[in-house]
Each structure stands twice: as C-alpha cells, then as structure tokens.
Amino acid sequence: MRPRLRAAILALLAVLALSGCVGPARTTHTYESKAVRTANDSLSELQTALLSVNTSLHGRLMHAYLETVLSESEDAFSSIQNTFDSIQPPNTPRADQLRASLDTLLSDGSDGLAQLRILARRQDTAGLAAQAHKLTATAAGLAKFAQEHG
C-alpha cells in the first residue's frame, strides 16, 4: 500500500475512533431503549462497587483491591453516563421526562461512587458502610427505572 493512501486511511480511522459521538435517538421508543440499557449498565457498576464494599467490611477483601475495584467502577460508570448524556433525545415531553429521571439517578450514582472511593482511600469503614447504604437506594432506583421502562 502506498504511504499516502495508508496515512489517509489511518487518519480517517483515527477521526472516527476519536469522534465517539452518539447520534440522535429518532423516536421516543428508541431513546427509552437506550435509557434502559444505560440504567442496567450503570446498575451493574453500582452493584459491583456495593458488593466489594460489603465484602471488604466483612474482612474478606484486601483494602488495596477494594480501592482498585471502586476506582474502576467509578470510571466505567462515568463512561456510561457520558455516553447517555451525549445522545440527542427526540423532541417529545416523554423523552425529556425520561432524561430528567435517569440523569438524577446517574448523578446520584456518580457522586456516591466518588464518595466510596474517597472513603476507601481514607480507610473510613464507618463512612463506607453509611455511603454504601445510601447508594443502595440509588441502585434500587436504577433497577426500578429499567423495569418500568424495559
């Protein structure tokens, strides 16, 4: 392959990979499906974090590993949230309501995961237990959202 052609192809691939944008959801049904997938994916990250905290609080998980799991769950959750937020919803009141409801839960989850990570690094077991309890309500909210709209 000629060098110029190869460079052009690589540049095109880089642009496509870096753009990472998500197109608009053309219908409310499509948007709702994407919202349900987001709720389920983010719920999975919360459950991973909560399980690791619970296991750590019972002395069955090394603290260094807890910090790693929480950091990775927080990063993955943030990526899921950013992907959903980049979707252009259709121009309907129902889509706006879906977005508002899910965004509240995602913000609560993101904040809660950040708090768990901070508390774990400070080795604050009482704070971890309290924050995990609060985050359980957010997880329940995400599960309810997915069930109601799925």
Return d(Cα 99, Cα 132) in angstroms, integer: 25
The dotted CATH code for 29-85+92-149 is 1.20.120.660
pLDDT for 19 beyond 50: no
pLDDT tens-place string over residues 52-83: 999 999 999 999 999 999 999 999 999 999 99
Cβ proximity of 87 and 25 under 8 Å? yes
Kindly tell me if the per-residue pLDDT of 21 is higher than 60: no
Mean pLDDT of the chain: 90
How does residue 10 score in pLDDT terms, banded at 50, 70 and 90?
low
pTM equals: 0.84
Tell me the pLDDT tens digit for each residue of 93-138.
Answer: 999 999 999 999 999 999 999 999 999 999 999 999 999 999 999 9
Which pLDDT score is estimated for 127? 98
pLDDT at 3: 60
CB-based burial label for 57 (10 Å; 0-12, 13-18, 19+): middle
